[in-house]
Amino acid sequence: MSLHVVVIGAGIVGAATAVHLLREGHRVTILEPDEPGREQAASYGNGAWISPASVVPMSTPGLWKKVPGYLLDSRGPLTIRLSALPRLSPWLVRFLYAGAAVRRVEATARALSALLEDAPDRHAELAAEAGIPELIRQSGLLYVYPDRAAFEAEALAWRLRRDNGVRWIEFDADELHRREPALHRRYKFGALVEAGAHCTDPGSYVAALVHYALGKGAAVVRARATGFDIEGGRLRAVRTDSGFIECDRAVVSAGIHSKALARIAGDRVCLESERGYHVIISDPEAAPRVPVMPSDGKMANTLTMQGLRVSGQVELASVNAAPNWKRAAVLLNHARRTYPGLPDHIPEERISRWMGHRPSTPDGLPVIGTASASRDIVHAFGHGHVGLASGPATASAVADILAGRPSRLPLTAYAPARFRTWPRAPEAP
């Protein structure tokens, strides 16, 4: 049955969903207030990694001990603005609870693996279909450490990867620097996930997918969704700031703005912005041959079409708070320490900085499932650190839900209903 579906949001999840629904013969309207692929979207500024290894959630056992330090360290990999702490407390309690027991972390890893295990292949196929195969490179992804002991100190993370089918090749210092001569010699151990891939220009990729959808018959409406017209549990229209769009179904994939729409659709989801930063150094004097993640910075170092992109950091703060560009300075300084060939003084015109909002749930899993107010509304948001990688798999799940057929994904793990109950206090080991 052909339906008219309004896809709210033109990030990677919305763009991939639009393409998938067009394949199945649906009429699609993409609702997006801004130009697709531009800086307003998390899809634009991510680390560009498409990694089956990204199954390790942010919250893991013992993290609760580090929270006081995060509050005090304004330059660490994770920081929390004190002014936002009261509002963030419910999210933080759930966040600590999600990682307090190994069994919960294992369950999260399995649910993430279902979204990510074939992500490089899905993206390669999607990019080829849209006529932009060069934007996806199945390059492998390299994790580097000062020594094997540092690698083994992350035993839980690598066990979760192994248990979910991720394989890697280990390098000693000589092999590591033969492969990556630009890397600082302090790194003496590497683990290469050969199945990993990356996107050479995430913003252009999303824009190209939307353009491809337009060519396949989709419409794009430049407006902001404000609510839904629901009668007797059936969706009649999506409300926007410029009028109504009559439709049969709607998909909520509006990033951090999905929280308000989900609430209107009957679901109180626990979603906050993990504000992330990146810097791009154009024409870098030194750069990795394949994407690299140094263990001492936990930031993705990826050579893109614009230059060396160094992205990462997690800042919990109000969505409307001004960026803290010291976070970008941390990334830039770490890049200089990681690649000695980069000069100490890089002209400002060769550096670009970005801050955006990862829409993140406390348990590290996206929200995928039908809304409480109407089964005609499907939620597909909250992907946190894996939005780019999991876009095509999420699109497939949305299509399954709309068709009323079983999905290969464990949809109960992503269900919006999981936020209806309040967790117990975090467990100490």
CA distance 383 to 358: 8
Q: Convert the pLDDT of each residue in 98-151 to its tens digit.
A: 999 999 999 999 999 999 999 999 999 999 999 999 999 999 999 999 999 999
With CA atoms as reference, report the closest residue to 273 among 75, 99, 58, 42. Answer: 42
What's the mean pLDDT in 337-351?
96
CA dist 304 to 48, 111, 138, 204, 307, Å?
Answer: 8, 29, 13, 11, 5
- Output the pLDDT for position 342: 97
CA 217: distance to chain centroid?
28
Across 54-65, average pLDDT: 88
Longest dimension (CA), the chain: 67
Q: How far is CA 12 from the centre of its chain?
A: 9
**pLDDT tens per residue, range 362-401:** 999 999 999 999 999 999 999 999 999 999 999 999 999 9
The closest alpha carbon to 22, from 220, 212, 254, belongs to: 212
Look up residue 290 and give its amino acid: V
Let me know if 129 is exposed, middle or buried by CB neighbors in 10 A (0-12, 13-18, 19+): middle
Q: Based on the number of CB atoms within 10 Å of its own CB, is 393 exposed (0-12), middle (13-18) or buried (19 or more)?
A: buried
Answer with the residue of higher pLDDT: 312 or 369: 369
Q: Which residue has the higher pLDDT, 76 or 300?
A: 300
| C-alpha atoms less than 13 angstroms from C-alpha of 199 in its C-beta half-sphere | 30
Q: What is the overall mean pLDDT for the chain?
A: 94
pLDDT (0 to 100) of residue 70? 66
Count the helices and strands in the chain (H runs, E runs): 14, 21
How do residues 409-428 score in pLDDT, each as one tens digit? 999 999 999 998 876 544 44
**Confidence check: pLDDT of 243 > 50:** yes
Identify the pLDDT of residue 1.
Answer: 79
* DSSP β-bridge partners for residue 237: 229, 246
Position 109: which residue type? A
By DSSP bridging, strand 377-381 and strand 367-370 are: antiparallel
User: Quick check: 79 and 384 in contact, CB under 8 A?
Assistant: no
pLDDT tens digits for range 175-204: 999 999 999 999 999 999 999 999 999 999
pLDDT at 429 (0 to 100): 39
Ramachandran bin of 51, using left for φ above 0, alpha for ψ from -120 to 50, beta for the remaining angles: beta
Which of 57-66, 76-85, 390-399 is modeled with the greatest confidence?
A: 390-399
Looking at residues 323-331, what average pLDDT do you find?
92
pLDDT at 72: 63
Q: What pLDDT score was predicted for residue 286?
A: 97
Q: Select from 116, 130, 121, 128 the least CA-distant residue to 18.
A: 130
User: For the chain, which domains are there?
Assistant: 4-419 (3.50.50.60)
The SS3 call for residue 21 is helix
Q: Is it the case that residue 49 has pLDDT exceeding 70?
A: yes
How far apart (Å, rounded) are the C-alpha atoms in residues 217 and 383?
27
Burial grade of 174 (CB within 10 A; 0-12, 13-18, 19 or more): exposed
- Mean pLDDT in residue range 316-334: 91
Confidence at residue 428, expressed as pLDDT on a 0 to 100 scale: 42
User: The pTM is what?
Assistant: 0.95
For 140, residues 6+ apart whose C-beta sits below 8 A from its C-beta are 192, 193, 194, 195, 196, 290, 291
Q: Answer whether residue 157 shows pLDDT above 80.
A: yes
Evaluate if residue 303 carries a pLDDT over 90: yes
Q: Are 171 and 143 in contact (CB under 8 A)?
A: no
Tell which wins on pLDDT, 423 or 306. Answer: 306
pLDDT at 76: 67
Min mean pLDDT across 9-18, 191-200, 321-330 is at 321-330
